[in-house]
Structure 1
Amino acid sequence: MAGIADFYFDLPTQRTVALAAPVVLRLLDRPPGGASLILVRMTDPSRADALARWIAGRDPRVDAFSIQEFLARTGARLTYFNQFSVILGTMSAAVAFLLIAAIVSLSVGERLGEIAMLRAMGFPRASIVGLVLVEGVALAAAALPGAFLLGIAIARNLDRILLSSPGVPENLHFFTLTSAAAVRTVGILLATGALGGAYPAAVTARLEVAPTLHREVVS
């Protein structure tokens, strides 16, 4: 051992051993040859783009990238998965909205007589509308555990696909559940529940008390 080094491109839990190129070739039983990847650390990172262009201009067989350009190209390759996540999330929110709207609408339709009776007894219209909205939010809250389990399962499958690419470290993950993502998911789903309960709430707000009670008595 010659010393201990700090590898800037390693993950926090990654342990790397650096060997001289001849030693690596001898251990792998390979003949001497050129390098496939060379990392250059500059004292002035602002000149990285200019250096990359200069290196690429010296030899057309060499591809030189700065860290910013490399990350941009990597992000472009991940665009497909980002778009897929957006589409899947939008479809999930739309399905949740339709389901919540249908369930709350059926529930309100079966209780129109009770709602009209409460209105006749002096129960405020705004309170009834609020209760219907709360019902939609409660349904969305009840769906949160299933939504998280489904999202984690899909994220693990996508993560497994990306990790199968050559040269990707085993401890690197592209999809992780963070506190910000969890809060955002909860907010979106609860907002979807409130929107799903908006139409049934509007029905109760426009409910005519006398005709509804008359229909209930006749039926």
Structure 2
Amino acid sequence: MKIPLSYVARNLWARRLTTALTAAGLALVVFVFATVLMLDEGLRNTMVTTGEYDNVVLVRRGAETEVQSFIDRVQANIAASHPAIARDATGQPWLSRETVVLISLIKRDSGKPSNVIIRGIAPNALTLRPQVKLTAGRMFRSGASEVIAGASIARRFSGAGIGEKIRFGQREWTVVGLYDAGNSGFDSEIWGDADQLMPAFRRNAYSAMVLRLADSRQFEQFKHEIENDQRLTLDAKREQTFYADQSKALSTFISVLGLILSVIFSIGAMIGATITMYASVANRVGEIGTLRALGFQRRSILAAFLSESMLLAVVGGALGLVCASLMQFISFSTTNFQSFSELAFGFRLTGAIIVKTLLFSLAMGGVGGFLPALRAARMPIVDALRAA
């Protein structure tokens, strides 16, 4: 015979205070575990959505970021003449020669400086990045000292709001528009005219080129031809891959730190669950003896107490998951280890994270409840009835 699950649930309800305290401890561990996964997912999602899969980024060979790269005008013109590049209605290659520079701006809340990316773009850069939409003001004019700022930058940094002025490159730049980049990394940048930004920073070379191929399936052939052209020292990568690679160092750091914290906290939670279940076994010796006398086998007793521990873990896991889901409304910013610039991203909850979190809580319940359940199952009938 099997012991009904309703019997297990009633035992937890009968010990409401102990159940609540143990579940709260498990919920705290699950909260930490889930928020780490959500933070890592939010970072990866931000970096992946920064790039378009059909776009190709050209950077100097060996450069991991645009800040480290430079492409002189001769190489830029050679690359722009490749026949695989798509053409616009006027017959011009569909590409954007861009320059990327780090500047320091003051945060509105703390008054402390932080690095921000200034990106010089070509007029058709917005058509290459359809996720970027102007939300206020207007586009900067070519040849003018005007810029547009990401919504995240405008909120967090002094001088980056619409109508305000920022001083860099030995002159003042007016913020004439704000844009939304769909929670991608571009939200943490300021964009301006590349032909104006290059002389302002005394640069005569671009940082990177972004282009669209006429046929995306030709990427591998295009990559081979660009990287093996003796006149060029360039690497070609899909834009989505290029930006996703930049999140690996920070993502690894978050994952390792989260794993360490989760392991430490989970050990404490499992010890708490074990103590709770041992106390439950000690208080129910007579009940265990009665169940055995009624014909319930050892494995049924084991399954019942183990189910009780895992049900307790599910309650704690669900509570921790609910609390973690509230973190989706919080925005987070940190320094990108690759570009050393400010990067804003948020927590992101997915179905896979929910499944992983619940499995993690079940594992804690199973490990914490196994030994007490085994003790209950191995208890002799006569001794249990005599103790009652």
TM beyond 0.5 = yes
Identity of aligned residues (%): 21
SS of alignment partner, residue 38 of structure 1: strand
In structure 2, the residue matched to 1:22 is 143
**C-alpha distance in 2, partners of 1:65/1:91?**
43
Deviation at 1:126, TM superposition (A): 2.5
- Alpha carbons of structure 1 residues 90 and 48: separation in structure 2 relative to 1, 3 Å: farther
**C-alpha distance in 2, partners of 1:92/1:52?**
51
In structure 1, the gaps of 5 or more residues are: none
Map Cα deviations across residues 105-127 of structure 1 (whole Å, 9 max, x no partner).
11112212221232123333232
- Alpha carbons of structure 1 residues 167 and 197: separation in structure 2 relative to 1, 3 Å: closer
Query: In structure 1, what residue type is equivalent to 2:252?
Result: T
In structure 1, the residue matched to 2:87 is none
2:245 paired with 1:72: yes
2:284 paired with 1:111: yes
- Alpha carbons of structure 1 residues 197 and 26: separation in structure 2 relative to 1, 3 Å: closer
Structure number having the greater strand percentage: 2
Deviation at 1:149, TM superposition (A): 5.0
Return the match for 2:341 from 166, 169, 176.
166
Deviation at 1:160, TM superposition (A): 3.2
RMSD: 3.9
In structure 1, the residue matched to 2:220 is 46
**C-alpha distance in 2, partners of 1:56/1:204?**
76
Higher deviation after alignment, 197-206 or 69-78: 69-78
Work out whether residues 313 and 364 of structure 2, in 8 Å CA contact, stay in contact via their aligned partners in 1: yes
Higher deviation after alignment, 145-154 or 117-126: 145-154
Task: Please give the residue correspondences for 1:62-211 in structure 2 after superposition, counting only pairs within 5 Å.
Answer: 66-67=237-238, 68-149=241-322, 151-152=324-325, 159-161=332-334, 166=341, 168=343, 172-173=345-346, 175-211=347-383
Deviation at 1:103, TM superposition (A): 0.8
**C-alpha distance in 2, partners of 1:88/1:176?**
19
Query: In structure 2, what residue type is equivalent to 1:45?
Result: F
**C-alpha distance in 2, partners of 1:69/1:90?**
32
- Alpha carbons of structure 1 residues 127 and 45: separation in structure 2 relative to 1, 3 Å: same
Map Cα deviations across residues 121-170 of structure 1 (whole Å, 9 max, x no partner).
3333232222101210121122124422554577888943368x7364x5
Work out whether residues 93 and 189 of structure 1, in 8 Å CA contact, stay in contact via their aligned partners in 2: no
Work out whether residues 49 and 66 of structure 1, in 8 Å CA contact, stay in contact via their aligned partners in 2: yes
**C-alpha distance in 2, partners of 1:55/1:142?**
61
Report the number of matched residues: 204
Work out whether residues 133 and 198 of structure 1, in 8 Å CA contact, stay in contact via their aligned partners in 2: yes
Structure number having the greater helix percentage: 1
**C-alpha distance in 2, partners of 1:26/1:160?**
26
In structure 2, the gaps of 5 or more residues are: 1-122, 148-172, 175-195
Higher deviation after alignment, 82-91 or 45-54: 45-54
Deviation at 1:19, TM superposition (A): 5.3
**C-alpha distance in 1, partners of 2:260/2:282?**
33
**C-alpha distance in 1, partners of 2:227/2:256?**
31
Work out whether residues 97 and 193 of structure 1, in 8 Å CA contact, stay in contact via their aligned partners in 2: yes
SS of alignment partner, residue 133 of structure 2: coil
